[in-house]
Amino acid sequence: MPALFLSYRRADSAAWCARLGEHLNLRFGADLVFRDVDDLAPGMRWQREIEAALRGTQVVLVLIGPKWFAPRQRARLADPRDVLRREIAAALASPRRKVIPVLVGGARLPAAEALPRPLRSLLAWQACPLRDAHWRRDVTVLVERLRELVPALRRGTLAEIHTELWQQQERYFALLDATPARALAQAQRTLRLLDRVCPRHPQDGDLQLTRGYSHKNVAQALQRLGRGDEAGAALDTAERTFRTALAERPADAGAWNGLGSVLALRGRLREALRCVDKALKLQPDYPAAQADRAQLLAALGRG
């Protein structure tokens, strides 16, 4: 069950929610983060679906953007049948669940008396602003608060985790050429391990980069198995992971090299070389980037 539930109105804050969701996935893993949608598919028992998702959730993030309480959206919130209203009211009704109003796009909280009565207690919770101009800093503050609120995220040490991940990476590459199916299973095991340990150490950049490389490893094994569509989806995830890491840490040589490795698998060799060169500019003695650069130059006929 997810520990974190993102509640938002598509017409108000979809872009901010997607951006925040990527940062939370990077730090905690997708399994722990539930990103709700404003419009449920026809034929779904929406109340049951929302209740099921909320049941195991420990923290609900209510995104409030500049249109959240605009006249049209205000009218929707006044309707007891409105999905977002029902969702927030259900979150507020549980005494054990934490709720954080997240202000995006310069939004401010409405006055309590203007809200429908079931939603007024939302204002009793301290809000967290995510300012576009200070996004990285504000997300870091929010992540630390989430780690305090979810007990399962506070345990664990890093040394043994890094050793185990390194061993798993070595096993993957030992399997890739001879038995890509077993290499795929190994990369998937690494992702499951990351889903367990990343929430305990959300600020550890090495774990975040290992997630990106593991998605790339999944894609590489799928390519060897001739499963192109699945490989493309895994590369999409890997690329988003590295680009999100770079949005947080633009001077991270590992993230630049990781992005280059993904672009190389996509066949975008010149773009990949620029990324690897950026990694080497930041860290000239980076062995993996040096090796990747030599391979790219050879593939481009410039070796």
Instruction: Tell me the per-residue pLDDT of 63-88, one tens digit each, with 9 for 90 and over.
Output: 999 999 999 999 999 999 898 998 89
In tens digits, what is the pLDDT along the chain, a chain of 303 residues?
578 899 999 999 999 999 999 999 888 877 788 876 533 455 556 667 677 778 778 899 999 999 999 999 999 999 998 989 988 998 998 888 899 999 999 999 999 999 999 999 999 999 999 999 999 999 999 998 888 887 655 445 788 888 889 999 999 999 999 999 999 999 999 998 898 888 778 889 999 999 999 999 999 999 999 999 999 999 999 999 999 999 999 999 999 999 999 999 999 999 999 999 999 999 999 999 999 999 999 999 875
Quote the CA–CA distance of 84 and 141 in Å, as a whole number: 26
Rg (the chain; Cα; Å): 22
Contacts (Cβ under 8 Å, ≥6 apart) of 82? 76
**pLDDT reported for residue 280:** 97
Quote the CA–CA distance of 245 and 209 in Å, as a whole number: 8
Quote the CA–CA distance of 181 and 225 in Å, as a whole number: 7
Contact between residue 181 and residue 190 where contact means Cβ atoms under 8 Å apart: no
Instruction: Please give the order of strands across the beta sheet that includes 4-7.
Output: 33-35, 4-7, 59-64, 98-104, 128-130
pLDDT in tens, 265-279: 999 999 999 999 999
- Angle of helix 228-248 relative to helix 253-265, nearest 10 degrees, comes to 160
pLDDT in tens, 185-195: 999 999 988 98
Amino acid at 122: L
**3 state SS of 28:** helix
What percent of the chain is predicted at pLDDT more than 90?
A: 70
**3 state SS of 103:** strand
CA distances from 94 to 36, 83, 99, 106, 145 (A): 18, 18, 10, 29, 20
Paired tokens of 15: 């872009």
Residue 243's closest CA among 267, 269, 215? 215
